[in-house]
Amino acid sequence: MNRIIHNETDKAIKSGIGCLAKNQREDGSFPGFVTDSKSFDRAKKNQSVFPTCLILSSLDSLPESKELERIKSKAAKFLLGQKSDFWSWNYWKRNSSDSKATPYPDDLDDTCCAMAALIKNSPKAIPVKAIANVVNLLAYCESKEGGPYYTWITPPDADKGWKDIDLAVNSNIAFFLSLQEVTLPSLVSLAEKAIISGKYDSPYYHSPYAVIYFISRWYKGRKKNKIISYLLKKKLKNHSWGNPLETALAVSALINLDCKKEIVEESIASILKNRVNGKWVAYPFVVEKIKGKQKYYSGSAELTTAFCLEAISKFSDEAKSIVNGKEKAADKEAERIYTETISITERRFFRFDSETVETFSDIKEKISKGSGASRITLLPYYFYKSLRAAKSIDEKVIVDLCAAGFYGLAAYTIYDDFLDGEGDPKFLSAANVCLRELTSIYDDIFSKDKKFQELFRNTMDRIDAANAWETSKCRTRVSGSRLMIPERLPDYGNMERLADRSIGYALGPAAVLYIHTEKIEFPEMKNLMAFFENYIIARQLNDDAHDWEADLKNGQLSPAVVSVLKKYSGRHKNKKESDLKKETKELQKIFWHEVIQEVCGKSIFHVKKAGRHLRKIASVKDKTAFEAMLASVEKSAEEALTEQKEMLEFLEEYR
């Protein structure tokens, strides 16, 4: 980052916070203004709650300070004082003159923006029952099950004018849900229709950049690049999007969507240049009302300032790490190895037509979003670096083994989608190429070594046998909301089949250990395989504990789902199906009362067992990376057990 910009961002953030502190009202709210033109020179004050919701949310991205903490604490206290008994919010401050002159029902836009701001800044102030109440409100306002949702919280027989479905409002709902780690396909679909058409319309907002900003806070789908392209085409020659407010919204959206920071550097300079006495002036943000053909816009200098500070801070956080020479990866050598690995895979696909290249690019992007994708790819490298008095191994071999790991991850990610009934045929050829390349790499490295070739074949056989068993035994039919309960549920026994599905993770480290020791049949190799088997089981059980409801709805009989159905069937003798829509609460209570401790307990058991096997691998001197893998799973399982109490409270509140 340009050092001048770096210095200016620090000054801008400090002075901007000072201006917000000075202009924040005693009750914690921020002023708003309404005008019948795009100039706020003659604007009148209004009494809207909405600016405070958005300002509090934007301030979350700023570096902490005592002054900022005071601002946020006062704003949060104000918002909590504005909620209804049902945890809904209105556009107007309660009992204000504006609320009496132009009464509105409470709405989901203000409600979800207020809840999101409070959750991000004061999570302890939001009890479980509050989340349950908002979920109840969403169910009350859904146009169909799972959304999208109507804007206004009105009775079912209300006038149709109150039954609009708005893109911006549903994006703010999606953002609130994303903070609960919930993604609804209907809301993704609504956003993607807008992205494809390039129409980011909302009657409630002045410009498309506000709508795009709201989408960018939660959208992680494949069409991010289309939004980026749309924004960059709209950028003016002076690197702005018309004014500092819209420029800030566009810049924050681009950064949220993972656009490269250098692309927005000149736009940040444009924002900084347009300050007036340490802050930015008001511009239209909300379309507050329309009389005849005349639109009335609301906004404020404080709202513009908050959005500008958010954009600057997001840019500055990432750019500072570049200025200081800090890279995302703590291990520069690991990053270099990973870059070389990905380059190998990309060069392999350059031989194909553009469609296949694009397909591989899509799957590569999908994998990179997954949890720990780079760590899994680099397992051979990390294992090699951990060895005691490591025998020198050609770096090319390590990189090739990492490439084989990436090919395996790509192939089985695609195949797994097919096994789950969600596969896209366009990815199948790419999966086959990846599997061929994986096999080819091991054939090249161990062309004259029958012992390791046998270990490789046995490992691949275990994977295919586990997938075949899962496909034939671990699926049941779902018709609408009705799930058929099989007469015989799958028996996972000691969970070995869970390990077999993903035992390919162990191949790279096993290859490195074999090159290091030149032994296959010896205790260290057995302990290495046992470490990975138990780690995979623990991780899979942990994932199942988090995904059990989605698995249930898709008819996938994971160990967690099997436990729930066994206990359900015990209560409903001879019942052959369950209506998931009507019996969701009962199934949730079974899981959270009885199954969660069983599944997480088993996960922790296998973490401990994996740790014992790891300690027995004498060749491994530095076990830090592998202990961290286990610690991550154990922590997640323990957090799920802690969450049990809160979830039971939620179920009592949610109806």
User: HSE of 340 in the Cβ direction (CA atoms, 13 Å)?
Assistant: 16
Nearest to 513 by CA among 439, 434, 437, 451: 451
Q: What is the DSSP string of 473-537?
A: HSB--EETTEEE--SS----TTSHHHHHHTGGGGHHHHHHHHHHH--SSSHHHHHHHHHHHHHHH
- What 8-state DSSP symbol labels residue 90? -
- Cβ-contact 414, 344 below 8 angstroms: no
pLDDT value at residue 28: 96
Residue type, 500: D
pLDDT in tens, 509-536: 999 999 998 888 889 999 999 999 999 9
pLDDT in tens, 401-417: 999 999 999 999 888 88
User: HSE of 62 in the Cβ direction (CA atoms, 13 Å)?
Assistant: 30
Provide the 10 A C-beta neighbour count for residue 155.
8
Residue type, 328: K
pLDDT value at residue 369: 61
- Cβ-contact 400, 445 below 8 angstroms: yes
Provide the 10 A C-beta neighbour count for residue 165.
14
Q: What is the DSSP string of 341-393?
A: HHHHHHHHHTTS-HHHHHHHHHHHHHHHHSTTHHHHHTHHHHHHHHBTTPPP-
Give 275-278's long-range contacts (Cβ < 8 A, gap of 24+).
275/12, 275/15, 277/19, 278/12, 278/15, 278/16, 278/18, 278/19
Domains of the chain in sequence order: 3-322 (1.50.10.20), 329-445 (no CATH), 473-503+520-655 (no CATH)
pLDDT value at residue 327: 36
pTM confidence score: 0.64
Q: How far apart are CA 5 and CA 85, in angstroms?
A: 47
Cα dist from 539 to 55, 351, 468, 651, whole Å: 39, 36, 21, 26
3-state DSSP assignment of residue 298 = strand
pLDDT value at residue 123: 76
Nearest to 627 by CA among 391, 273, 271, 382: 382
- The pair of three-digit structure tokens given for residue 489, joined into one six-digit string: 């549920």
Q: Which residues of the chain have pLDDT under 50?
A: 1, 3-4, 318-330
Please report, in angstroms and rounded to a whole number, the separation of the first and last CA atoms in the chain.
52
pLDDT value at residue 218: 96
Cα dist from 481 to 317, 554, 584, whole Å: 46, 10, 10
pLDDT value at residue 370: 58
Q: What is the DSSP string of 130-154?
A: HHHHHHHHHHHTBSSTT--B-SB--
- Cβ-contact 427, 364 below 8 angstroms: no
Cα dist from 557 to 150, 469, 563, whole Å: 35, 12, 9
Owner of token pair 């990436």 = 406
pLDDT value at residue 330: 42
Dihedral (Cα; 449, 452, 458, 463), 10-degree rounding: -120
